[in-house]
């Protein structure tokens, strides 16, 4: 069977090359260096894998590897909690080291932005970055919204439960492309024009061209300020973890409000005083037929994110509801007998046990977000597939473009599956 599969693959490859040669179409990926010559409506800056960004990636990989070795060495047992020093060492290696390297080599980080004179390779990378933005926001938004809808379906309130049930039934049974058309052509295109924009003093401008907000322009002290914010967040996480461990061991939670507030406010304030004002505001201003300056969300991007979030959240709601209901009622009754309130019961008892049922099917929905993002071509959003289709029409390299599509989506799906499987293994219930 293996020999037959290899023979079939070799035959298809040889026949494809012969057909391309007969039609006078060149093969190979050399066309990716050619000038694109077309415009992309939404451009994302791409850091080049060289200089400071390359050092950052290397330090990140080294920090994660070293923190993994430290965790294995200092953990009291398999799955046991790390002591305070071990946790601090892991955070310093996995977070502090990459941030320190990035700050040290910040002047050698090169950002390339696509223009019409850029190559096809930069155009594909820009489309892939746009796809990543949509996929990340869609996965996060559909998870949060799905959790809220699932809890609403389980609510004893009849009206709330009925509304959530109809939300699930309606969105699961409408095609996702139809929902994208609804959000784009009916909702967003129905907003007022540029001359009649909803303007809240420049802080928020809304019209059928998009949503415009003030942009943060980094200044000299921005790197130091961002590093301080990251360090403060890591410190708050350590404080919360320590408080939870004290609560599990003694029944009394440790102090977390005051130390957390001091970290969140103190470190960024010190960075502000040391490095000066880290950011300035760039407000959107009406110039000609559109607003210039600031930052904005295009209608295409908004419709795609909202449509995918609403559609996938209906499936996630049913997955989360099924996982919660899979936990026996005795667990809830035992938690109530320990004087836990409903929030504690759900957070401490129900959800940790339901995650082993929720995570595997939730992985498939995350993959669906990435794959359904290719429907962006229907509303004109320049995602990976849309940009690749333009390149295909210009260059005629159909086999190569389709192969790139297949390879990239396969790699993204395998990475998501790997990460979710690792997380699923960590939260799995270990029986004696």
| pLDDT at 80 exceeding the cut of 70 | no
Q: Look up tokens 């086999």; give the residue.
A: 399
Alpha-carbon distances of 193 from 60, 187, 213, rounded to whole Å = 46, 13, 17
Condensed to tens digits (0 to 9), the pLDDT of residues 37-77 reads 888 888 888 888 778 888 888 888 888 888 878 777 766 55
End-to-end Cα distance, the chain: 42
pLDDT band at 276 (very low <50, low <70, confident <90, very high): confident
Condensed to tens digits (0 to 9), the pLDDT of residues 229-248 reads 888 888 888 788 778 777 77
The two tokens of residue 187 are 């909702």
How many CA within 13 A on the CB side of residue 267? 18
Phi first, then psi, for residue 281 (nearest 5°) are: -100, 135
Q: Report percent pLDDT > 70 for the chain.
A: 95
Q: Are 212 and 294 in contact (CB under 8 A)?
A: yes
User: What does the alpha-carbon distance between residue 192 and residue 199 come to, in Å, rounded to a whole number?
Assistant: 11
Residue 413: Cβ within 10 Å count:
15
State the average pLDDT over residues 108-116: 85
**Backbone CA torsion sign across 141, 147, 153, 156:** negative
| pLDDT at 213 exceeding the cut of 60 | yes
User: Backbone dihedral region of 47: left (phi > 0), alpha (psi from -120 to 50 degrees) or beta?
Assistant: beta
Condensed to tens digits (0 to 9), the pLDDT of residues 280-318 reads 888 888 777 777 777 778 889 989 999 999 999 999 999
Contacts with 351 (C-beta within 8 Å, 6 or more apart), sequence order: 324
Specify the long-range contacts of residues 81-89, CB closer than 8 Å, at least 24 apart. Answer: 81/245, 84/238, 84/242, 87/238, 87/241, 88/238
pLDDT band at 273 (very low <50, low <70, confident <90, very high): confident
pLDDT band at 264 (very low <50, low <70, confident <90, very high): confident
| pLDDT at 182 exceeding the cut of 90 | yes
DSSP 248-276: HHHSSPPP-HHHHHHHHHHHHHHHHHHH-
| pLDDT at 81 exceeding the cut of 60 | no
Phi first, then psi, for residue 79 (nearest 5°) are: 85, 0
User: What does the alpha-carbon distance between residue 205 and residue 197 come to, in Å, rounded to a whole number?
Assistant: 6
State the average pLDDT over residues 340-344: 80
Condensed to tens digits (0 to 9), the pLDDT of residues 363-399 reads 999 999 999 999 988 888 999 999 999 999 988 888 8
> Which is it for strands 198-199 and 111-112: parallel, antiparallel or unpaired?
unpaired
pLDDT of 304 reads 92
pLDDT of 139 reads 93
> Which is it for strands 285-287 and 290-292: parallel, antiparallel or unpaired?
antiparallel
Residue 321: Cβ within 10 Å count:
23
Which SS3 state, helix, strand or coil, does residue 289 take? coil
Average per-residue pLDDT in the chain?
84
Instruction: Tell me 53's DSSP state.
Output: H
Instruction: Tell me 79's DSSP state.
Output: T
User: What does the alpha-carbon distance between residue 6 and residue 124 come to, in Å, rounded to a whole number?
Assistant: 30
User: What does the alpha-carbon distance between residue 32 and residue 24 come to, in Å, rounded to a whole number?
Assistant: 18
Q: Alpha helices of 75-119 — where are they, by DSSP H?
A: 84-91, 97-104
Global pTM reads 0.82
């Amino acid at each position: 069977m293996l020999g037959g599969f290899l023979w079939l693959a070799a035959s298809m490859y040889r026949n494809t090359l012969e057909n391309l040669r007969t039609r006078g179409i060149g093969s190979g990926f050399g066309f990716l260096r050619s000038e694109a010559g077309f415009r992309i409506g939404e451009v994302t800056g791409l850091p080049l894998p060289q200089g400071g960004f390359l050092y950052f990636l290397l330090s990140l990989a080294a920090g994660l590897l070293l923190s993994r070795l430290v965790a294995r060495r200092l953990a009291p047992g398999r799955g046991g909690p790390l002591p305070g020093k071990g946790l601090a060492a892991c955070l310093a290696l996995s977070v502090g080291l990459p941030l320190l390297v990035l700050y040290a080599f910040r002047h050698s980080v090169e950002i390339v932005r696509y223009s019409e004179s850029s190559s096809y390779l930069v155009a594909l990378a820009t489309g892939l970055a746009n796809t990543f933005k949509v996929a990340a926001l869609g996965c996060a938004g559909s998870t949060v919204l799905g959790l809220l809808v699932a809890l609403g379906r389980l609510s004893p309130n009849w009206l709330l439960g009925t509304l959530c049930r109809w939300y699930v039934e309606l969105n699961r049974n409408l095609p996702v492309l139809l929902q994208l058309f609804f959000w784009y052509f009916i909702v967003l295109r129905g907003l007022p024009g540029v001359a009649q924009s909803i303007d809240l003093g420049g802080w928020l401008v809304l019209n059928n061209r998009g949503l415009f907000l003030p942009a943060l322009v980094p200044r000299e002290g921005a790197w130091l300020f961002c590093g301080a914010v990251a360090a403060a967040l890591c410190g708050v996480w350590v404080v919360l973890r320590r408080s939870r461990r004290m609560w599990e061991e003694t029944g009394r939670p440790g102090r977390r409000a005051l130390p957390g507030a001091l970290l969140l406010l103190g470190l960024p304030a010190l960075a502000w005083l040391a490095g000066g004002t880290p950011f300035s505001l760039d407000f959107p201003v009406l110039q000609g037929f559109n607003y210039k300056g600031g930052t904005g969300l295009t209608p295409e991007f908004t419709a795609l994110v909202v449509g995918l979030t609403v559609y996938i959240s209906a499936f996630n709601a049913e997955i989360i509801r099924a996982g919660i209901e899979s936990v026996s009622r005795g667990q809830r009754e035992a938690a109530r007998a320990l004087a836990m309130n409903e929030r504690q019961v759900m957070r401490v008892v129900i959800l940790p046990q339901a995650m082993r049922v929720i995570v595997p099917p939730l992985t498939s929905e995350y993959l669906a977000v990435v794959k359904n993002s290719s429907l962006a071509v229907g509303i004109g959003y320049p995602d990976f597939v849309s940009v690749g289709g333009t390149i295909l029409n210009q260059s005629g390299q159909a086999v190569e473009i389709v192969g790139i599509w297949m390879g990239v989506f396969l790699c993204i799906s395998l990475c998501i599956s790997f990460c979710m499987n690792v997380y699923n293994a960590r939260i799995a219930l270990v029986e004696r």
